[in-house]
A and B are shown apart, each in its own frame.
Chain A
Amino acid sequence: MQIIRLEKIHKRYFEGKENELEVLKGIDLSISRGEFVAVVGASGSGKSTLMNIIGVLDRPSEGRYFLDGTDIAEADDRELSGIRNKQIGFVFQTYNLIPRMSALRNVELPMQYAGVKAAVRKKRAEELLRTVDMQDRMDHTPDELSGGQKQRVAIARALANDPSILLADEPTGSLDSFTGRMIMDLFHRLHREKGITIVLITHSPELADETERILTISDGMITGERKGAADGYVPG
């Protein structure tokens, strides 16, 4: 069953002006529930724009996007906030934890926006932090955590409202190879144990090879698709 379906998606900036720029030039893409997909491409290829559209942070200029069967074009800003809140979990290269807030409070935040009661969300946040092996640092603020620890908290936060899709934009881009390895292992574990759909955006072919399917994007179009090694991959 397809959880993401993009049909002839175009994204243009400065539309109708002299400096009009077409970043996405007709993307057709389907991702099934529970798939682990990598999107690779050079910088400027349009992969970040594609991620913004998949994550409903931005709307396409043309084409249709069905997320879990819902046509995104018909949703207003408020409904898009709700979709980001409940169906999508974001993991950024720069972690984007809220400073001055403990790891626990950061993980609680999406649940707070979803209107979950304080006691319930605290319990769930603790549980999630345990899942990413951060139970000992729950009361630490981001500036007291290392890069890998921050990213693990960010992953716990992305999972807060039990989303169907995890969107990770260069999640290991700011980490050393050892820590990056740990984060990738965490993604594999979540994929295997929770069956969560993961879209990984990366420029690293090695990381992409670990996933189930690799899409290559260049100049706003999908130019290649191949199978990855994930089916037989066993985390070290």
Chain B
Amino acid sequence: MFLDNISMALSQIRSNKMSVGESMNRAISEAMNEFGVGNISFYLTEKETAGEKEYTYRDLRDSDCVSEEIFEDMRRHFAGRVQGISLSENIGDGTIESSNTDQKISINGVNSMALDSRKLQIESGRVFDSADHSNMRRVIIISSKLAEELYGEDYIHNAIGKVLECEISGKYYGYTILGIYEYDPSASGRNMFAMGSTPPSEAFIPLRTAFAETNRDMLFTYFDVVADPEEDAQALMDEISAFINSKYYRNNDAFEMQGYSMQAIIRESEQTIGMVKLAISAIAAISLLVGGIGVMNIMIVSITERTREIGTRKALGATNNSIRLQFITEAIVLCITGGVIGLAGGTALGLGASKLMRFPVTAPVKWMVISVLFSMAMGLFFGIYPANKAARMNPIDALRYE
């Protein structure tokens, strides 16, 4: 029936709205927590000429990059407010030839701050010490998944100390396995936009080792500052940007450092989600209103068609209250039926969409109950006016109605 369709559409919007909002929030906050809320990222970016979106194109020179002296200066200047500067350098994706299948591996040079902020659980072996860093030792920390693939189930005893050989764009590298971190399947799936393909296993070597491998100076085009938890990341970001740009990039004709704070990104994304939620709520509210008026209209039509029936019922002894109750009940039953059908449809659609999009979906029972109760309330609210109209009918006029 026409009416069921309206309620169905309504409840669908309602139940979808809930799960979309909650799933989005969950996915984003999970992703955010992995990066760390206190992180401020800085990237070397091309300067904009005042007011215009015109860039001064020029190739990057070594002198444009951030060197260790600048980091030292920053550490001194922001001592106590900054936990550390996290530096990493990816030397590339490589392949390990193994007995069964070739294993993909992504090798990152990291300083101790960068390794700390990964929050890895070490299963076996140890992390880098200062000697590993300063002596540029060729040691590596790999995931338990990779270790198991290469050394079997008893990798905890077998892997440490073994030399891992891998090939990165034609060159061969060898590292002694120093530690094994616990592989977290949800972390590798963190990039929800990279569907299907399994990302290469992440492995870590000391930062200086990474630079030594590629025969380059320790120069950076990006770095992360880990702020003290007490600090307002946004304000600190502005201060660091001002400090580094005024001291080191004032005379640079093409480049400057640009900061991004996780906090600001989270705030922004929360605002965006809030707006999306608000928009969906507004659409749902309007649809509910339209649907409610539809329910009311149908009830009025039904009551007009049944005028004679109402007159007969009154002649048979129905009181005004029993007529009122009859039609309110009808409106409520109608709306609940629509609500339940809509809920079933919404859940099916939501699950289907989540399967297709590989996007986590939550079906909150609380909200399901609330939407059915809400359908009931809608029936009550929009049923009262028609029911009163029916109850107040004059029995003689109603009986005579053609």
Q: Hey, which chain B residues are within 8 Å of A82, CB to CB? A: 317
- In the bound complex, do residue A157 and residue B399 qualify as a contact, i.e. CB atoms below 8 Å apart? no
- In the bound complex, do residue B399 and residue A113 qualify as a contact, i.e. CB atoms below 8 Å apart? no
Q: Mark B320-335, 1 if CB is under 8 A from A, else 0.
A: 1010000000000000
Bound-state CA distance A161–B317 (Å) is 10
A96-B308, A98-B309, A99-B309 as given contacts; A113 in contact with B316, CB under 8 Å: yes
Tell me, rounded to whole Å, the shortest Cβ–Cβ distance linking B320 to chain A.
7
Q: Hey, which chain A residues are within 8 Å of B311, CB to CB? A: 96
Tell me, rounded to whole Å, the shortest Cβ–Cβ distance linking B368 to chain A.
32
User: In A72-111, which residues have CB < 8 Å from any B CB?
Assistant: 77-78, 81-82, 84-86, 90, 92, 96-99, 109-110
CB of B395 closer than 8 Å to a CB of A: yes
Bound-state CA distance A157–B311 (Å) is 15
Q: Mark B366-402, 1 if CB is under 8 A from A, else 0.
A: 0000000000000000000000000000011001000
- In the bound complex, do residue B316 and residue A84 qualify as a contact, i.e. CB atoms below 8 Å apart? yes
CB of A185 closer than 8 Å to a CB of B: no
- In the bound complex, do residue B316 and residue A90 qualify as a contact, i.e. CB atoms below 8 Å apart? yes
- In the bound complex, do residue A157 and residue B315 qualify as a contact, i.e. CB atoms below 8 Å apart? no
Q: Which residue from B308, B312, B315, B318 sits with its C-beta under 8 Å from A55?
A: B315
- In the bound complex, do residue A109 and residue B315 qualify as a contact, i.e. CB atoms below 8 Å apart? no
- In the bound complex, do residue A57 and residue B315 qualify as a contact, i.e. CB atoms below 8 Å apart? yes
- In the bound complex, do residue B318 and residue A113 qualify as a contact, i.e. CB atoms below 8 Å apart? yes
- In the bound complex, do residue A58 and residue B396 qualify as a contact, i.e. CB atoms below 8 Å apart? yes
CB of A141 closer than 8 Å to a CB of B: no
Bound-state CA distance A156–B116 (Å) is 89
- In the bound complex, do residue A57 and residue B319 qualify as a contact, i.e. CB atoms below 8 Å apart? no
CB of A52 closer than 8 Å to a CB of B: yes
Q: Quick one: closest B residue to A163, CB to CB? A: B317
Tell me, rounded to whole Å, the shortest Cβ–Cβ distance linking A77 to chain B.
7
CB of A145 closer than 8 Å to a CB of B: no
- In the bound complex, do residue B317 and residue A81 qualify as a contact, i.e. CB atoms below 8 Å apart? yes
Bound-state CA distance A81–B320 (Å) is 9
- In the bound complex, do residue B309 and residue A84 qualify as a contact, i.e. CB atoms below 8 Å apart? no
- In the bound complex, do residue A113 and residue B315 qualify as a contact, i.e. CB atoms below 8 Å apart? no
Tell me, rounded to whole Å, the shortest Cβ–Cβ distance linking A154 to chain B.
9
User: In B178-196, which residues have CB < 8 Å from any A CB?
Assistant: none
Tell me, rounded to whole Å, the shortest Cβ–Cβ distance linking A102 to chain B.
15
Residue from B311, B313, B316, B399 whose CB has the most chain A CB atoms within 10 Å = B316
- In the bound complex, do residue A81 and residue B309 qualify as a contact, i.e. CB atoms below 8 Å apart? no
Q: Which residue from A84, A92, A96, A98 sits with its C-beta under 8 Å from B317?
A: A84
Bound-state CA distance A92–B319 (Å) is 20
Q: Which residue from B309, B318, B395 sits with its C-beta under 8 Å from A57?
A: B395
CB of B314 closer than 8 Å to a CB of A: yes
CB of A229 closer than 8 Å to a CB of B: no
Q: Hey, which chain B residues are within 8 Å of A161, CB to CB? A: 317
A52-B396, A57-B395, A58-B396 as given contacts; A157 in contact with B317, CB under 8 Å: no
Q: Hey, which chain A residues are within 8 Å of B317, CB to CB? A: 81-82, 84-86, 110, 113-114, 161
User: In A161-180, which residues have CB < 8 Å from any B CB?
Assistant: 161
Tell me, rounded to whole Å, the shortest Cβ–Cβ distance linking A52 to chain B.
5
User: In B288-328, which residues have CB < 8 Å from any A CB?
Assistant: 308-309, 311-320, 322
Bound-state CA distance A60–B399 (Å) is 18
Bound-state CA distance A57–B396 (Å) is 6
Residue from B313, B315, B318 whose CB has the most chain A CB atoms within 10 Å = B315
Tell me, rounded to whole Å, the shortest Cβ–Cβ distance linking B81 to chain A.
78
User: In B185-219, which residues have CB < 8 Å from any A CB?
Assistant: none
Tell me, rounded to whole Å, the shortest Cβ–Cβ distance linking A33 to chain B.
21
Tell me, rounded to whole Å, the shortest Cβ–Cβ distance linking A194 to chain B.
19
- In the bound complex, do residue A109 and residue B396 qualify as a contact, i.e. CB atoms below 8 Å apart? no
Bound-state CA distance A58–B311 (Å) is 12
Bound-state CA distance A157–B315 (Å) is 11
Q: Hey, which chain A residues are within 8 Å of B399, CB to CB? A: 57, 92, 96
Bound-state CA distance A81–B396 (Å) is 13
Bound-state CA distance A109–B314 (Å) is 11
Bound-state CA distance A229–B40 (Å) is 109
Q: Quick one: closest B residue to A109, CB to CB? A: B316
Tell me, rounded to whole Å, the shortest Cβ–Cβ distance linking A101 to chain B.
9
A52-B396, A57-B396, A92-B399 as given contacts; A110 in contact with B320, CB under 8 Å: no
Q: Quick one: closest A residue to B309, CB to CB? A: A98
- In the bound complex, do residue B315 and residue A90 qualify as a contact, i.e. CB atoms below 8 Å apart? yes
Q: Hey, which chain A residues are within 8 Å of B395, CB to CB? A: 57
Q: Which residue from A52, A58, A78, A157 sits with its C-beta under 8 Å from B316?
A: A157
Tell me, rounded to whole Å, the shortest Cβ–Cβ distance linking B312 to chain A.
4
Tell me, rounded to whole Å, the shortest Cβ–Cβ distance linking B191 to chain A.
59
Bound-state CA distance A78–B323 (Å) is 12
Bound-state CA distance A113–B323 (Å) is 10
- In the bound complex, do residue B309 and residue A85 qualify as a contact, i.e. CB atoms below 8 Å apart? no
- In the bound complex, do residue B318 and residue A98 qualify as a contact, i.e. CB atoms below 8 Å apart? no
Bound-state CA distance A96–B316 (Å) is 11
Q: Hey, which chain B residues are within 8 Å of A58, CB to CB? A: 396
- In the bound complex, do residue A113 and residue B396 qualify as a contact, i.e. CB atoms below 8 Å apart? no
6 contacts between A and B (CB under 8 A): A58-B396, A81-B317, A84-B314, A96-B308, A97-B312, A113-B317
Interface residues of B (CB under 8 A from A): 308-309, 311-320, 322, 395-396, 399
Give me the 8 closest cross-chain CB pairs, A-B, nearest first.
A85-B317, A96-B312, A113-B317, A81-B319, A110-B316, A90-B315, A84-B317, A57-B395
Q: A57-B396, A77-B319, A113-B318 are in contact. List 17 more A-B contacts (CB 8 A).
A: A55-B315, A57-B314, A57-B315, A57-B395, A81-B317, A81-B319, A81-B320, A82-B317, A84-B314, A84-B316, A90-B316, A92-B312, A92-B399, A96-B311, A96-B399, A110-B316, A157-B316
